[in-house]
């Protein structure tokens, strides 16, 4: 379980997040949703060291996450960055190999285990045929999958993803969500910052709803929906449509 | 496809090495006194130790060739590192003012301690380090806007150039040829003057090669690098230290050799791809070749007069770089 306890974050001298307390349960998909500028990305960035926590505690499986060396953190919790304008000029395989960085010794030589992890990650993300392509020459969907493969090679029980489907077209988006749901089945704990509320409602076990740098509510999607919190935060109505036993949500 | 690429890279490396050896040899044969191949060999193999040929080779040509190798390799590596750390394709020891910082401090040390070679090297390193730290702070403060870094570099550069020119004009007895120093030259390099810089540069290149994978991670952005377990700021500082040491030490014996640090990394990436583990050693090699060749041309073009290597580098390198930019459509330079 990943738990934030009274976490405060300052950027420069301005407080961005104040007294955030929230839990992310083991083996679940938790989505953080909220309007732009509500602090969701800042909250996640406390986990990769970009936003520094000024007070409070983050506990990962009962141990103090912020006191772990970076390399140890990188073996327990991996991070999928937001889609970026400029992407690296290296091969897909090269990118995925970077996921093994926390495991490599001083020589930075790949062991047999590292090679296997890279191969498995490439297979899992369906990227074998692209492994020698340059990342910056791929489409957005494939690039995002390459980053996901890098994250998979890192082989952490906790996977954090910052807007994994931003700028992606529909098929790439669906593929991404399919992969995320399969990862959950393999026992990963997944934390997503999501813009796509329909998808968040459909795949998450738990929602964390943020507004104005505060956590408004957290709980099971259907409960949040029933209590009207999402509708309040996004100032909208949500229609539920049933289709062959699965639900789709339309924001209006 | 991948296999082919690594093989191609190996062949390219081999070619660069062969060209380097060829250039070294040619540099020993030609000059204001032309020696024959036999004469060069008998000096190098120790059979001829007393003739004037031996004096020419050991005291003039060999130091100059070694100086060229070191200058090119050091600046090439420093260029790759600065471009990586600042995430800026326009960064190089020259463009961001690191060279000028070293140059200014070298001229200061010449003013105060004219004969002390160790002081000269140390001051060059300090000058380079202080300048690059200033630039890094500015970059951090300006949220790494690429244009700001380069503009700040140009400003600092011209500020320090003013300082150097002031010293040059006020103290005409300064114990280096200031005009040549400001352009970058290898004439007057002796084994003694490159002793300390050589050690520093070689160690610097080796450490850079060992740490090169960290440079790859930095290229992915701070967030990704740190989520993979890299101490981003710590490594950034180490890399700045390395680049400053190498470019500063080159300045201490060869003056403000320009352009190598900017264009060599670009050519290398064009030929070898973007993996820092290949780019760093390849830049060292190509840089060395580039300076050796330019120095050789500078010596022979108007022999017995010679042009400082800095002039040749700018004359030949400038148009060549423009050609590369245009050929690539300027698109991939934004690395």
pLDDT at A164: 87
Q: Which of A151-165, B98-112, B158-172 has the highest mean pLDDT?
A: A151-165
Nearest CA distance, B70 vs chain A (angstrom) = 26
Q: Is B271's Cβ below 8 Å from some Cβ in A?
A: no
pLDDT at B335: 39
Q: Which residue of A has its CA nearest to B210?
A: A107
Establish if B131 belongs to a structural domain: yes
Determine, for residues B223 and A71 on separate chains, whether the beta-carbon distance falls below 8 Å. Answer: no
Establish if B285 belongs to a structural domain: yes
Determine, for residues B213 and A101 on separate chains, whether the beta-carbon distance falls below 8 Å. Answer: yes
d(CA B28, CA B184): 21
d(CA B183, CA B72): 15
Nearest CA distance, A169 vs chain B (angstrom) = 23
d(CA A121, CA A152): 5
With CA atoms as reference, report the closest residue to B125 among B102, B108, B141, B148: B102
Answer whether A17's CB lies under 8 Å from A211's CB.
no
A79-83, A201-205, B78-82, B141-145: which has the minimum mean pLDDT? B141-145
Establish if B113 belongs to a structural domain: yes
Q: Is B304's Cβ below 8 Å from some Cβ in A?
A: no
d(CA A88, CA B215): 12
Q: Is A109's Cβ below 8 Å from some Cβ in B?
A: no
Dihedral sign, CA of A136, A112, B206, B232?
positive
CATH of the domain at B139: 1.10.3470.10
Q: Tens of pLDDT along chain A (252 residues)?
A: 898 988 888 877 788 888 889 999 999 999 999 888 888 888 888 888 888 888 888 999 888 988 888 889 999 999 988 877 677 888 899 899 999 998 887 666 788 889 999 999 999 888 899 988 888 888 888 888 899 999 999 999 999 998 888 878 888 888 888 989 999 999 999 999 988 888 888 889 999 999 888 888 888 988 888 888 888 888 888 888 888 777 888 887
∠ Cα A31 A35 A40 (to 5°): 50
Specify the higher pLDDT residue, B330 or B100. Answer: B100
pLDDT in tens, B242-299: 998 899 899 888 888 888 888 899 889 888 888 888 999 999 999 999 999 999 888 8
pLDDT at B332: 46
Nearest CA distance, B76 vs chain A (angstrom) = 20
> Which chain B residues are Cβ-neighbours of A95 within 8 angstroms?
220
Query: How many independent structural domains does chain B possess?
Result: 1
With CA atoms as reference, report the closest residue to B181 among A214, A155, B189, A241: B189
Distances (CA, A) of B160 to A45, B129, B179, B213: 40, 14, 15, 34
Quote the tokens at residue B235: 């490594």
Q: Is A70's Cβ below 8 Å from some Cβ in B?
A: yes
Q: Is A141's Cβ below 8 Å from some Cβ in B?
A: no
Point out the residue among A72, A93, A98 whose CB comes nearest to the CB of B228: A98
Band (B330; pLDDT cuts 50, 70, 90): very low
Q: Is B21's Cβ below 8 Å from some Cβ in A?
A: no
Specify the higher pLDDT residue, A217 or B86. Answer: A217
Determine, for residues B213 and A108 on separate chains, whether the beta-carbon distance falls below 8 Å. Answer: yes
ipTM associated with this complex? 0.86
pLDDT at B201: 94
pLDDT at A205: 92
Task: Calculate what percentage of chain B has a pLDDT beyond 90.
Answer: 19
Answer whether B185's CB lies under 8 Å from B193's CB.
no
pLDDT in tens, B42-69: 888 877 777 788 888 888 888 999 999 9
d(CA A212, CA A37): 7
Distances (CA, A) of B312 to A127, A197, B97, B169: 48, 62, 21, 25
With CA atoms as reference, report the closest residue to B271 among B279, B281, B263: B279
pLDDT in tens, B200-234: 999 999 999 999 989 988 888 888 898 998 888 88
pLDDT at B199: 92
SS (H, E, C) B30-85: CCCCCCCHHHHHHHHCCCCCCCHHHHHHHHHHHHHHHHHHHHHHHHHHHHHHHHHH
Establish if B335 belongs to a structural domain: no
Q: Judge whether residue B105 has pLDDT over 80.
A: yes
Point out the residue among B1, B220, B229 whose CB comes nearest to the CB of A74: B229
pLDDT at A32: 93
Q: Strand, coil or helix: what is A247?
A: strand
pLDDT at B5: 66
Q: Which residue of B has its CA nearest to A150?
A: B228
Determine, for residues A108 and B274 on separate chains, whether the beta-carbon distance falls below 8 Å. Answer: no
Answer whether B270's CB lies under 8 Å from B283's CB.
no
Q: Judge whether residue B176 has pLDDT over 80.
A: no
Q: Is A75's Cβ below 8 Å from some Cβ in B?
A: yes
Establish if B14 belongs to a structural domain: yes
- Structural domain that includes position B160: 2-327
Establish if B200 belongs to a structural domain: yes
* Residue that is written with structure tokens 């060749």 in the block: B293
Q: Which residue of A has its CA nearest to B3?
A: A132
Using the 8-state DSSP alphabet, how is residue A49 labeled?
T
d(CA B148, CA A98): 30
- The strand pairing partners of B326, in sequence order, are none
Burial classification of residue A246, based on how many CB atoms lie within 10 Å of its CB (0-12 exposed, 13-18 middle, 19 or more buried): exposed
Q: In sequence order, which ranges of chain B are alpha helices (DSSP H)?
A: 2-29, 37-44, 52-55, 62-85, 98-112, 117-141, 146-170, 178-183, 195-210, 212-218, 222-227, 232-254, 260-272, 276-300, 309-327
Dihedral sign, CA of B122, B124, B130, B136?
negative
Q: Is B234's Cβ below 8 Å from some Cβ in A?
A: no
Distances (CA, A) of B137 to A216, B24, B141, B236, B299: 38, 40, 6, 12, 41
Determine, for residues A101 and B229 on separate chains, whether the beta-carbon distance falls below 8 Å. Answer: yes
Q: Is A71's Cβ below 8 Å from some Cβ in B?
A: yes
Band (B174; pLDDT cuts 50, 70, 90): low
Nearest CA distance, A235 vs chain B (angstrom) = 32
pLDDT at B1: 43
Specify the higher pLDDT residue, A249 or B80. Answer: B80
Non-local (6+) Cβ contacts of B222 within 8 A are A50, B232
Determine, for residues B227 and A81 on separate chains, whether the beta-carbon distance falls below 8 Å. Answer: yes
Q: How many CA atoms lie within 13 A of B179 on its CB side?
A: 4
Q: Long-range contacts of range A114-122, CB-CB < 8 Å, 24 or more positions apart?
A: A117/A153, A117/A155, A118/A93, A118/A153, A120/A152, A120/A153, A121/A96, A121/A149, A121/A150, A121/A152, A121/A153, A122/A92, A122/A93, A122/A96, A122/A149
pLDDT at B57: 83
Residue length of chain A: 252
Establish if B252 belongs to a structural domain: yes
Task: Calculate what percentage of chain B has a pLDDT beyond 70.
Answer: 92
Q: Which residue of A has its CA nearest to B272?
A: A90
Q: Is A81's Cβ below 8 Å from some Cβ in B?
A: yes
Establish if B334 belongs to a structural domain: no
- Antiparallel, parallel or unpaired: β A63-64 and A53-60: antiparallel
d(CA B184, CA B247): 12
Band (B74; pLDDT cuts 50, 70, 90): very high
With CA atoms as reference, report the closest residue to A128 among A139, A113, A118, A141: A118
């Amino acid at each position: 379980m990943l738990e934030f306890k009274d976490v405060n974050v300052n950027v420069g001298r301005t407080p961005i997040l104040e007294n955030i307390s929230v839990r992310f349960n083991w083996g679940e998909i938790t989505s953080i949703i909220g309007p732009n500028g509500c602090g969701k990305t800042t909250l996640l960035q406390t986990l990769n060291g970009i936003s520094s926590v000024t007070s409070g505690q983050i506990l990962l499986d009962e141990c103090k996450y912020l006191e772990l060396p970076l390399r140890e953190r990188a073996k327990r919790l991996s991070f999928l960055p937001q889609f970026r304008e400029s992407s690296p000029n290296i091969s897909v395989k090269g990118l995925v190999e970077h996921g093994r960085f926390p495991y490599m010794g001083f020589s930075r030589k790949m062991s047999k285990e590292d090679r296997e992890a890279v191969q498995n990650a490439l297979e899992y993300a369906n990227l074998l045929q692209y492994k020698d392509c340059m990342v910056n020459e791929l489409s957005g969907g494939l690039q995002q999958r390459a980053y996901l493969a890098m994250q998979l090679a890192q082989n952490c029980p906790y996977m954090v993803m910052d807007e994994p489907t931003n700028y992606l077209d529909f098929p790439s988006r669906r593929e991404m969500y399919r992969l995320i749901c399969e990862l959950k089945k393999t026992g990963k704990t997944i934390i997503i910052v999501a813009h796509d509320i329909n998808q968040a409602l459909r795949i998450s076990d738990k929602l964390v709803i943020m507004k104005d740098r505060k956590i408004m509510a957290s709980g099971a999607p259907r409960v949040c929906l029933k209590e009207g919190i999402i509708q309040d935060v996004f100032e909208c109505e949500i229609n539920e449509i049933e289709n062959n036993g699965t639900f789709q949500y339309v924001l209006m | 496809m991948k296999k082919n690429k690594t093989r191609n890279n190996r062949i390219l490396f081999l070619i660069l090495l062969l060209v380097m050896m060829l250039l070294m040899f040619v540099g020993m044969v030609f000059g204001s006194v032309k020696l024959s191949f036999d004469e060069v060999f008998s000096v190098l193999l120790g059979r001829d130790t007393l003739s004037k040929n031996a004096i020419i080779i050991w005291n003039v040509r060999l130091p100059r060739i070694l100086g060229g190798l070191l200058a090119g390799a050091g600046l090439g590596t420093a260029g790759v590192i600065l471009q990586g750390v600042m995430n800026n394709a326009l960064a190089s020891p020259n463009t961001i003012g690191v060279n000028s910082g070293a140059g200014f401090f070298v001229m200061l040390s010449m003013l105060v301690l004219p004969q002390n070679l160790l002081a000269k090297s140390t001051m060059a390193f300090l000058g380079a380090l202080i300048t690059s730290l200033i630039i890094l702070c500015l970059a951090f403060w300006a949220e790494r806007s690429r244009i700001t870094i380069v503009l700040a570099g140009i400003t600092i550069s011209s500020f320090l150039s003013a300082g150097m020119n002031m010293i040059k004009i006020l103290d005409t007895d300064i114990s280096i040829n200031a005009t040549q120093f400001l352009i970058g030259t290898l004439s007057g390099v002796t084994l003694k003057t490159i002793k300390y810089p050589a050690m520093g540069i070689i160690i610097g290149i080796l450490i850079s090669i060992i740490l090169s994978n960290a440079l790859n991670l930095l290229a992915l952005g701070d967030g990704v690098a740190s989520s993979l377990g890299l101490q981003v700021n710590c490594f950034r500082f180490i890399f700045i230290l390395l680049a400053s040491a190498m470019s500063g030490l080159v300045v201490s014996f060869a003056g403000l050799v320009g352009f190598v640090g900017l264009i060599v990394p670009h050519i290398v990436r064009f030929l070898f791809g973007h993996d820092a583990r290949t780019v760093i050693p390849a830049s060292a090699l190509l840089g060395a070749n580039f300076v050796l060749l330019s120095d050789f041309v500078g010596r022979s073009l108007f022999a017995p007069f010679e042009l400082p290597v800095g002039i040749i580098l700018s004359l030949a390198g400038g148009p060549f770089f423009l050609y590369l930019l245009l050929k690539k459509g300027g698109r991939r330079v934004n690395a």
